[in-house]
A and B are shown apart, each in its own frame.
Chain A
């Protein structure tokens, strides 16, 4: 049984300390999976290793995307293949605006998908961006602000989902996207995630990492997994988390 994202006996360490100790997980197209568990259980490490953070060393096992190992791919190549990570702590980058950044990301993606087509014109992209910002109830003025610079915690999380909406990934990992959001913002974010999921030809597959039950109410998972000490210790269908 191959999924769109398969994690097979994955082991990883940081600074010679083993954090992932054999994680197994298979996500089939369109499924929503939730990973829960206490701080330090390895949830965020798992997200970062899947995306290819250079800080982590994979010491065993494999991560397969669409049946092929992606461990040798750079983060940008993983992204172009259709993998997306909504960061728990998005970085603040000064000197580059949200709009410039997303235009560059969108163009990289389009160039990968359609190498012979010319890049999107800035004004067309602006229109697309404005639509998505409206959906997420993000003020237009954020377009010209430096990427995440001076954004509140909630604004940063919304901006992550905005990036997801622009890039239209096949698999999205949402790393504690719910933390820092008030109930209204959480609703908007979850509705937007669903809207992106349903708008795609191939329904987006979602892996969400969370501490809280709260998000599961708005974004209902098909499967819930519990992680502890670098391993998935329990898995079940959606009723399991309640």
Chain B
């Protein structure tokens, strides 16, 4: 109830739909080619190995077929997407917020980012179109060897670290969009937490697409050394244009031994965005990886954060919320591969479908032969708000070691008429009463977010619930 809560309290549709003038787009062409891939690499002055990696990835992209499962992607036209565009030409972004161009600054101000930085964060990154515009990290953490910067800069300043880990967790030939990402990736986050350093406050990056028909391909590379701890939050948004935009980001997390890392994200791309994201973590012995995610936006989302429990005694938590409103398909889920002994995982997914929206839980759980005594529990709950909306659960479980303990629970429900009557009988309007019940439904997950983000999440739900009555 303190005023901190108000950082994101005033968000409304206009906050996200605001469009900055995009004159800079005239310089950039649409469509993808080898020439473009070479141009991106040259523009960034990259080492030879990265150019080769990009070209190899581009070859995979051309060869690979579109995904054989999930939502229809046939309307996604690669020739209509701008794969690389820079608004502010400053390598790695500004370190001083005052130097960021005014209109970009205003956009992030409106989204509450600088205020959140002052109040609750240890560091902030902001990306606008293809490149970072700002990066900061508190001195305290810099002094302890933490690196938090734009990945383009990290490639220049820490080439060995980047080369050792880059796309080793998500290989470029993994699938068509990982390949595309490998070819045209730009910007993103590099986070390195050295051995034993426990970051007490979260770090955040915010990714903003502004221009029409934009593609954003930021790469997030996170290395958590042994016994280190950290929490990183990603936020994303884009205005609505009525033309397709594409987001194919990639998140790779390497969690060392006896370490702990949490990755949270609130994705709120506009409804004309294809959000085809790949997020994966490799977790070493005795460590804990936590994914907390909210997916509100995008027309089509395909996102299945993955934990590879490689080390003995490693653990993964996957907590997720998906909201599918009119014309949206939220095809989300979790993948967990148990490889080490005594590994455990917990998946809790909550989906809401409204006004014809479709939400799908797609799970993939594998217990490998050597993974003795694995424990896994999967719980997915779906709330369907009206008769025209759809929810689906597609769990895929493969067990090769029979000492495993596995549970899978799925529920599908509607908002109870008696509950609504109870709330409205106290003077609360129907729309707000429904939003309260939906917020209550997702509360077990939202409470895992820092308070300010929980408030943002609840506010986003209220925005989605607008116009749900009548």
Contact = CB atoms under 8 A, between A and B. Distances in A.
Q: State whether these chains interact.
A: yes
Interface of A: 51-55, 74-76, 78-80, 84-85, 87, 90-91, 93-96, 101, 104-105, 108-109, 112, 122-123, 126, 146, 163, 167
B429 A95 contact: no
Given A79-B424, A79-B425, A126-B1, A104 B432 contact: yes
B422 A91 contact: yes
Contact of B422 (A55, A74, A90): A90
Main secondary structure of the interface of B (DSSP, over half): helix
Contacts of A76: 424-430, 433
Interface bracket on B: 20 to 34
Nearest to B436: A96
Interface stretch (B38-46, B147-155, B197-205, B441-449): B441-449
Nearest to A111: B427
A96 B422 contact: no
The 4 A-B residue pairs whose C-beta atoms are closest, nearest first, are A95-B440, A95-B443, A79-B427, A122-B1
Contacts of B422: 87, 90-91, 93
Contacts of A108: 426-429, 432
Given A90-B422, A108-B426, 18 more contacts: A52-B425, A54-B417, A54-B421, A55-B421, A75-B424, A76-B424, A76-B425, A79-B424, A85-B425, A91-B422, A93-B419, A93-B437, A94-B441, A94-B443, A96-B439, A101-B423, A104-B428, A105-B426
B443 A75 contact: no
A55 B417 contact: yes
A112 B427 contact: yes
Interface in B394-447: 416-419, 421-430, 432-433, 436-437, 439-444
Contacts of B426: 76, 79, 101, 105, 108, 163, 167
A242 to B, nearest CB: 33
Nearest to B437: A93
Nearest to B5: A122
A94 B440 contact: yes
Listed residue (B425, B432, B439) with the most chain A CB atoms within 10 angstroms of its CB: B425
A53 B421 contact: yes
Interface string B1-14: 10000000000000
A93 B439 CA distance: 11
Interface in B143-164: none
Nearest to A51: B425
28 contacts: A52-B421, A54-B417, A55-B417, A75-B425, A76-B426, A76-B427, A76-B428, A79-B424, A79-B426, A91-B416, A91-B418, A93-B423, A93-B436, A94-B440, A94-B441, A94-B443, A95-B437, A95-B440, A95-B444, A96-B439, A101-B423, A101-B436, A104-B428, A105-B426, A108-B432, A112-B427, A126-B1, A146-B440
Given A53-B421, A126-B1, A93 B440 contact: yes
Contacts of A109: 427
A224 B422 CA distance: 27
A91 B425 contact: no
Nearest to B419: A91
B49 to A, nearest CB: 50
B427 A105 contact: yes
Nearest to B442: A95
Contacts of B432: 104, 108
Contacts of A96: 436-437, 439-440, 443
Contacts of B427: 76, 79-80, 105, 108-109, 112, 167
